[in-house]
Amino acid sequence: MSNTKDFIIEQIKNKISEHKADITIKNTGKVISTSDGIVKISGLSEVAMSEMIEFKNEEKVVYGVVLNMEEDNVGAIILGDYSKIKEGDEVIASGKILQVPVGEEMVGRVVNPLGEAIDGKSSIKTDKSYPIEKIAPGVIKRQSVNEPVQTGIKAIDAMIPIGRGQRELIIGDRQIGKTAVAIDTIINQKGQNMKCIYVAIGQKKSKIASIVSKLEKNSAMDYTTVILAGASDPASLLYIAPYSGTALAEYFLDKGEDVLIVYDDLSKHAVAYREISLLLRRPPGREAYPGDVFYLHSRLLERSCRLNKENGGGSITALPIIETQAGDVSAYIPTNVISITDGQIYLEPDLFYKGNRPAVNAGLSVSRVGSSAQIKAMKKVAGKMRLEAAQYRELAAFAQFGSDLDQDTKAKLERGKRLNEILKQDQYSPLLVAKQVLIFYALINGFIDDVEVENVMKFEEGLHQYADMAGKKVLDQISNGEFNEELEAEMKALISDYKATLQ
Amino acid sequence: MKITPKEYATGLFYSISGKNDDEIKNIVNNFVNLLIINNDVSKADKVSQVFSSLWNKENKIVESEVTTSNKLDAESQESLKKFLIKESKAKEVIIKENIDKSILGGMIIKYNDKILDRSLKTKIKNLNNFIKR
């Protein structure tokens, strides 16, 4: 036993000798007033914008961030519990811009925007921290997007492909599957060499609990960090949450890794920022948002990027989520974020209630850079498929009126119906790209035309199972990104073989 | 238009600079009358506060507060004064001494908006936090 005791004492001695007492002159101020998480401070003569400040308190140190600097006072937000801060309290400037701890230890954890664990497991010890605000990488460091992010969702991977380093907005009304798209994408990143960060802004904690358990069940927490600023947290934490998530993403980016970050959702973030701005008495603009909401989101999303080889070659792919009110995409925040991102996935209530889930509206959804990032085989089938889908949409609206249709039109309508069936997909069941290519190939080459519409889903399921058993080689070849006549013939053979087993 | 205490104080300061005692008396009388006419007597407290800080700044006088656990002897008081004059680049330093047993040892020096906390209590607290991490 004495051995362990000596060991402990030795450890303590080492620790103490490591400790360096910092004795620098610090700037101080006094709290003039405090209300709703906002403090007005006098003094703090040399404080900088967005500098971290400490409120001296008996038990716990509470931090704040300077957001306003006026002639004779400083306005700041309090990060955390503000009920114990009183008028006349002493405030000390830390001399540091707001930083959050980052590191590998964060992976698999649920943390708050300040990097403190809130999942009930051990506290997180990291030796690095990154500033939450950073200027986005410049033109010289960047490279165009050329590698795909496989979401595992057929409708998205085929028609609205996303590339590594892209910013793709997910937009739609409440309760329509926006989060589901993002979570499915995270689940599908298993083994794809991707770190995932899910930033929940103003979400119900029950929802996050169920998401985390779903991720754990699919062993997606091995590469995912959840940053949670819940609905009951003060607006200041909601405000810094996406920035602190991006700071963590940049840590992995600097190591040359690929990161996927989901901001769920930015409309609540804008509302939190509006609250802070109004309390700080900044003048309100349209919809009472302050003048710099555009900059609020543009500086955040601009930090997503794909770096070139000389700068590590990492990437940050961002999937911001925006909630619209009754399908109104022309409100202030939706239009802002649409114009910042490289495309959007528009989820439509009508489709959702008709049972087309995920309710992706292929007409209004676009991806401005993604198609250059698709694998070759997918590019081949998706092009044709997109055309079929567009033709079907046009004809379907038309065909409601007349019953007399020529053969050609009828065939197109029938195929369109089957395409619709194929695009339906259950939640938490992402699909391999190779299998996606296979089913789309079957469709555009007329293999499914003689299957009843009701049976298409069953047919598809069977095809995937058959391919798992008999077509491993073909699937591998598709995944490798090659596409030639030989492979095409093999795919044809595989599908016909499968069809033969059905009869 | 409303006149802020700061404007009152700067006005007063510049109007009395370079004047002799008799003139200053006159100016101050006028100033008080002005406050009464403008119905701003309630601001007098604030004005005198701003005025004294302005005065200190212009004449390079620094007020400082020193907290120690035991009373300082004359020698350390003198070296403290020298230290403060060097640090704040002031011509004159006014030191207000506080005695607080709870800081255990060392001293806390405050001047202007700055603080230099070298008390034993804070050092122990920092060490405690460091070991806990």
Beta strands in chain B (DSSP E): 61-68, 92-99, 106-111, 114-119
Q: What is the mean pLDDT of chain A?
A: 92
pLDDT at B122: 83
Q: Are B130 and A19 a contacting pair at CB < 8 A?
A: yes
pLDDT at A453: 92
Between strands A90-97 and A26-35, the pairing is antiparallel
User: Which residues of chain B are within 8 Å of residue A72 when distances are taken between CB atoms?
Assistant: 6
Query: Is pLDDT of A21 > 70?
Result: no
* CA angle in degrees (0–180, nearest 5) for A144-A150-A155: 110
Query: Is pLDDT of A306 > 60?
Result: yes
Q: Which whole number is the average pLDDT over B2-12?
A: 88
Of A329-333, A337-341, A439-443, B10-14, which gets the smallest average pLDDT?
B10-14
- Taking CA–CA distances from A71, the nearest residue in chain B reads B6
> At residue A434, what are phi and psi to the nearest 5 degrees?
-60, -40
Q: What is the pLDDT of residues A250-272, one digit of tens each?
A: 999 999 999 999 999 999 999 99
Q: What's the CA gap between A325 and A182, in Å, rounded?
A: 20
Asked casually if ipTM beats, i.e. exceeds, 0.85, the reply is: no
Q: What's the CA gap between B61 and B54, in Å, rounded?
A: 10
Chain A interface with B: residues with Cβ < 8 Å? 12, 15-16, 18-19, 21-29, 43-46, 72, 92, 125
Query: Is pLDDT of A402 > 70?
Result: no
DSSP state of B21: H
- Peptide bond connecting A449 to the previous residue in cis, omega within 30 degrees of 0: no
Closest CA of chain B from A46, distance in Å? 9
Q: Is B89 an interface residue toward A (CB < 8 Å)?
A: no
pLDDT at A25: 84
- Taking CA–CA distances from A11, the nearest residue in chain B reads B131
User: Which residues of chain A are within 8 Å of residue B117 when distances are taken between CB atoms?
Assistant: 23, 26
Q: What is the pLDDT of residues A40-87, one digit of tens each?
A: 999 888 899 999 999 977 667 889 999 999 988 999 999 988 888 889
Query: Is pLDDT of A22 > 70?
Result: no
Q: Are A43 and B115 a contacting pair at CB < 8 A?
A: no
> For chain A, first and last CA: distance in Å?
76
Q: Are B115 and A46 a contacting pair at CB < 8 A?
A: no
- Peptide bond connecting A137 to the previous residue in cis, omega within 30 degrees of 0: no
A313 contacts A258 by C-beta, under 8 angstroms: no
- Give the model's confidence band at B130: pLDDT under 50 very low, under 70 low, under 90 confident, else very high: confident
Interface A–B counts its CB contacts (< 8 A) at: 42
- Give the model's confidence band at A7: pLDDT under 50 very low, under 70 low, under 90 confident, else very high: confident
A208 contacts A37 by C-beta, under 8 angstroms: no
Give me the residue from A16, A27, A125 closest to B114, CB to CB. A27
Q: Are B115 and A21 a contacting pair at CB < 8 A?
A: no
* CA angle in degrees (0–180, nearest 5) for A450-A453-A458: 90
Q: Which residue has the higher pLDDT, B16 or A134?
A: A134
The tokens 């079907």 sit on which residue? Answer: A392
User: Which residues of chain B are within 8 Å of residue A26 when distances are taken between CB atoms?
Assistant: 114-117
Q: What's the CA gap between A107 and A121, in Å, rounded?
A: 13
User: Which residues of chain B are within 8 Å of residue A23 when distances are taken between CB atoms?
Assistant: 116-118
Q: Which whole number is the average pLDDT over A299-311?
A: 95
pLDDT at B84: 87
Q: Is B54 an interface residue toward A (CB < 8 Å)?
A: no
Closest CA of chain B from A122, distance in Å? 12
Structure token digits, residue B20: 């002799």
Identify the residue among B54, B57, B111, B114 best suited for mutation to test binding to A, counting A beta carbons within 10 A and taking the highest.
B114
Identify the residue among A10, A17, A19 best suited for mutation to test binding to B, counting B beta carbons within 10 A and taking the highest.
A19
Q: Smallest Cα–Cα separation from A224: which of A285, A255, A182, A266?
A: A182
- Give the model's confidence band at A1: pLDDT under 50 very low, under 70 low, under 90 confident, else very high: low
Closest CA of chain A from B23, distance in Å? 31
Give me the residue from A12, A22, A27 closest to B131, CB to CB. A12
Q: Is B121 an interface residue toward A (CB < 8 Å)?
A: no
**Ordered DSSP codes for A264-319:** ETHHHHHHHHHHHHHHTTPPB-GGG-BTTHHHHHHHHHTT--BB-GGGT--EEEEE
Q: What is the pLDDT of residues A416-431, one digit of tens each?
A: 999 999 999 999 999 9
User: Which residues of chain B are within 8 Å of residue A46 when distances are taken between CB atoms?
Assistant: 113
Q: Which whole number is the average pLDDT over A479-495?
A: 89
- Give the model's confidence band at A151: pLDDT under 50 very low, under 70 low, under 90 confident, else very high: very high
Q: Which whole number is the average pLDDT over A195-211?
A: 96
User: Which residues of chain A are within 8 Å of residue B54 when distances are taken between CB atoms?
Assistant: none
Q: Are B114 and A28 a contacting pair at CB < 8 A?
A: yes
Q: Are A16 and B117 a contacting pair at CB < 8 A?
A: no
Closest CA of chain A from B113, distance in Å? 5
Sign of the CA dihedral with A454 first, then A455, A458, and A464 last: negative
Q: What's the CA gap between A315 and A164, in Å, rounded?
A: 6
Q: Is B56 an interface residue toward A (CB < 8 Å)?
A: no
A374 contacts A191 by C-beta, under 8 angstroms: no
Structure token digits, residue A457: 């889903």
- Report pTM: 0.90
User: Which residues of chain A are within 8 Å of residue B131 when distances are taken between CB atoms?
Assistant: 12, 15-16, 19
Q: Which amino acid is at A56?
A: K
- Taking CA–CA distances from A42, the nearest residue in chain B reads B113
Query: Is pLDDT of B85 > 70?
Result: yes
The tokens 């309390």 sit on which residue? Answer: A279
Q: How many CB atoms sit inside 10 A of residue B56's CB?
A: 16
Query: Is pLDDT of A213 > 90?
Result: yes
- Give the model's confidence band at A118: pLDDT under 50 very low, under 70 low, under 90 confident, else very high: very high
Percent of all residues in chain A with a pLDDT value above 90, rounded to a whole number: 73
User: Which residues of chain A are within 8 Å of residue B133 when distances are taken between CB atoms?
Assistant: 125
Q: What's the CA gap between A263 and A179, in Å, rounded?
A: 10
User: Is residue A142 annotated as part of the catalytic site, yes or no?
Assistant: no
Closest CA of chain A from B22, distance in Å? 34
- Give the model's confidence band at A395: pLDDT under 50 very low, under 70 low, under 90 confident, else very high: confident
- Give the model's confidence band at B60: pLDDT under 50 very low, under 70 low, under 90 confident, else very high: confident
Query: Is pLDDT of A2 > 80?
Result: no
Which of A142, A368, A386, A393 is an active site residue?
A368
Q: Which of residues 23-42 of B touch A (CB under 8 A)?
A: none
Classify burial at A220, counting beta carbons within 10 Å of its beta carbon; exposed 0-12, middle 13-18, buried 19 or more.
buried
A179 contacts A264 by C-beta, under 8 angstroms: yes
- Taking CA–CA distances from B118, the nearest residue in chain A reads A23
Spell A156-174 as b/e; 16+ CB within 10 A means b.
bbbbbbbbbbbbbbbbbbe
User: Which residues are CB-contacts of A424 (< 8 A; sequence separation ≥ 6)?
Assistant: A355, A356, A357, A457
